[in-house]
């Protein structure tokens, strides 16, 4: 049979395709290879079906107006929920110096394993949750996970021994495994490439806000119960307050965050179309619910995938240690447990400033990788101060700890770059209109899952570097952190070099005589590596 022979279309499939594209397939004007993908066209197709497939004109004013609506309706709730995501993980650090260890009779390295156990749950459910984010409505599924993790966290107040604490920490990891990949996908779904770095930096920076508010909350509970007493242990109050607050925000998330532009309550019908049109430049659509095996294999064969996965693994060994032991680390500088709750809060401000500044400058100058590496250099300097300064220089070593809180900047940059640089484009040009049949959603979710699985492994290893026998200074753990970040810096340089080299090769191909640009071709089925028009964002 000829590649351009006429074909029949299932009525349900035809309904989801713009009329010109459906007619082209029926008439045999689209190569047969595309038919294997036509049943799973991107959901954005549905929105354009009533417009005959014609490109909608989006004015600069409309673009700004819709961007403001998106920012005001989606970004605030994402910021608050992501802050709670960090606070819920670190509540155990506050609780560790508020009576948790004694009340649950933790011995030896039990506390270290509680720190790691969260990530065993996270890693166990990371790929399934990425698949569910692709199959289920992303807004509703994310909200359900938020409500579930808040409920589980509140239950921590009822644990009586190590076994109960282990079970809760594992379930907490399972429930929270959807948050970071889900938020990264939501960001790529609603924002253009040039907007994604700053927005990702903003919602991730609420880790810093959570550290500030969490420290103040824990300090207030500790002081209040010390002065006025309480019927339950102060560490239990921490888990109840943060858990129930998370449940409440999960309910708000359910009603505010839509599954896509197609069902956003706060956009009218015309603005929904324009909201999709404004992200056409991403060549990524708004999501595809069908699993594509070839995209899974493509992700596994991509050097960039493994480079950023390696980064997540090595960078999060320090993260896992510091997140669970920062309160105990500060007390090792010579401060009391109560003081450590309060003095840990400025570290959050460092993280906020670095993430927002690096996100803004990375988008402005089109170089997220090198700009974000500045945070890693600052963090390495901070660890060097902690290790090298005399033991009696409490303020200097505390300042070094604050500097370590700049370390997440490259991790966040890679989160946004996964959405920007991981894409497979299939375009069909029919009657001068180009239709994007698929957008690499399987490949994108696969890479995100690998990245976050590596993140989990690093966070599992991290707490184990803080051994009880190394108290109070934890020098081996501090040296491990410094070495890991040094390796990460080398990996950052490699990723930058690789993307830069690939862009130069593509530019040489485009400069060749007789080269036909992407938009002038009738059919393309190209990966981000094969497509000469695709330029990696640095």
pLDDT in tens, 89-138: 778 888 887 888 888 898 888 888 888 888 899 888 888 887 888 788 89
For 404, residues 6+ apart whose C-beta sits below 8 A from its C-beta are: 318, 322, 347, 379, 382, 383, 386, 481
Give tens-digit pLDDT for 420-466: 665 444 334 444 443 333 345 567 667 777 887 888 888 888 888 88
pTM of the model: 0.72
**How far is 149 from 244, CA to CA, in rounded Å?**
10
The structure tokens 């959050």 sit at 348
Biggest CA pair distance of the chain: 85
Give the end-to-end CA distance of the chain in Å, rounded to a whole number: 44
Q: Is the pLDDT of residue 7 over 60?
A: no
pLDDT band at 46 (very low <50, low <70, confident <90, very high): very low
Average pLDDT of the chain is 79
Residue 285: other Cβ atoms inside 10 A:
25
Vertex 233: Cα angle to 229 and 239 (nearest 5): 125
Q: How far apart are CA 248 and CA 143, in angstroms?
A: 10
Task: Decide: 389 and 444 in contact? Cβ < 8 Å.
Answer: no
Separation between Cα atoms, residue 456 and residue 452, nearest integer Å: 6
CB 343 within 8 A of CB 394: no
Contact 351, 208 (CB under 8 A): yes
Residue among 349, 339, 113, 98 nearest 238 (CA): 98
Picking from 252, 226, 292, the residue whose alpha carbon sits closest to that of residue 444 is 292
Report the relative pairing of strands 433-438 and 523-527 from DSSP bridges: unpaired
DSSP string, 225-241: HHHH--SS-HHHHHHHH
Provide the pLDDT for residue 207.
86
Fold that domain 60-527 belongs to in CATH: Growth Hormone; Chain: A; (1.20.1250)
pLDDT digits (tens, 9 = 90+) for 483-530: 999 999 999 999 899 888 888 888 888 788 877 664 433 234 355 666
What is the separation of C-alpha 29 from the centre of its chain, rounded to a whole number of angstroms? 40
Residues 6+ apart with CB under 8 A from 210: 83, 84, 85, 86, 87, 90, 348
């Amino acid at each position: 049979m000829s590649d351009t022979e006429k074909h029949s279309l299932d009525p349900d499939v035809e309904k989801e395709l713009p009329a010109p594209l459906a007619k082209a397939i029926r008439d045999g004007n689209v190569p047969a290879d595309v038919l294997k993908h036509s049943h799973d066209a991107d959901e954005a197709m549905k929105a354009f079906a009533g417009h005959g497939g014609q490109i909608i004109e989006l004015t600069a004013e409309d673009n700004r107006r819709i961007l403001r609506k998106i920012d005001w309706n989606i970004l605030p709730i994402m910021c608050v929920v992501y802050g709670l995501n960090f606070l819920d993980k670190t509540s155990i650090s506050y609780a560790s110096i508020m009576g948790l260890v004694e009340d649950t009779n933790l011995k030896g390295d039990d506390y270290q394993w509680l720190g790691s156990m969260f990530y065993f749950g996270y890693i166990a459910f990371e790929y399934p949750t990425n698949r569910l984010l692709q199959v289920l409505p992303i807004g509703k599924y994310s909200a359900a996970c938020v409500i579930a993790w808040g409920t589980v966290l509140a239950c921590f107040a009822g644990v009586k021994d190590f076994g109960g604490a282990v079970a809760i920490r594992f379930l907490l990891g399972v429930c929270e495994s959807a948050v970071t990949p889900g938020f990264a996908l939501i960001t790529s779904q609603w924002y253009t490439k040039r907007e994604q770095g700053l927005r990702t930096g903003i919602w991730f920076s609420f880790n810093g806000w959570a550290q500030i508010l969490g420290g103040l909350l824990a300090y207030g509970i500790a002081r209040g119960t010390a002065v006025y007493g309480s019927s339950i242990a102060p560490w239990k109050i921490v888990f109840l307050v943060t858990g129930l607050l998370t449940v409440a925000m999960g309910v708000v998330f359910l009603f505010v965050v839509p599954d896509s532009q197609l069902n956003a309550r706060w956009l009218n019908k015309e603005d929904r179309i324009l909201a999709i049109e404004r992200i056409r430049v991403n060549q990524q659509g708004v999501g595809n619910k069908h699993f594509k095996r070839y995209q899974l294999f493509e992700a596994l064969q991509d050097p960039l995938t493994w480079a950023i996965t390696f980064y997540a693994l090595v960078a999060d060994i320090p993260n896992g240690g510091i997140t669970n032991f920062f309160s105990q680390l500060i007390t090792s500088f010579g401060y009391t447990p109560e003081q450590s709750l309060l003095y840990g809060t400025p570290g959050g401000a460092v993280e906020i400033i670095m993430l927002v500044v690096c996100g803004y400058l990375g988008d402005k100058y089109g170089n997220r990788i090198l700009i974000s590496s500045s945070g890693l250099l600052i963090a390495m300097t901070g660890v060097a101060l902690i290790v090298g300064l005399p033991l009696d220089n409490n303020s200097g070593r505390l300042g070094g700890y604050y500097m370590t809180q700049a370390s997440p900047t490259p991790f966040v940059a890679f989160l946004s770059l996964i959405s920007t640089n991981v894409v497979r484009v299939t375009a069909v040009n029919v009657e001068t209109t180009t239709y994007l049949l698929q957008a690499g959603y399987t490949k994108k979710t696969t890479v995100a899952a690998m990245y976050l699985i590596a993140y989990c492994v690093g966070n599992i290893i991290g707490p184990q570097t803080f051994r009880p026998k190394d108290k109070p200074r934890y020098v081996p753990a501090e040296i491990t952190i410094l070495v890991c970040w040094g390796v990460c810096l080398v990996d950052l340089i490699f990723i930058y070099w690789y993307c830069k080299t690939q862009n130069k090769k593509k530019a040489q191909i485009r400069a060749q005589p007789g080269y036909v640009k992407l938009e002038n071709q009738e059919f393309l089925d190209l990966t981000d590596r094969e497509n000469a028009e695709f330029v990696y964002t640095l």
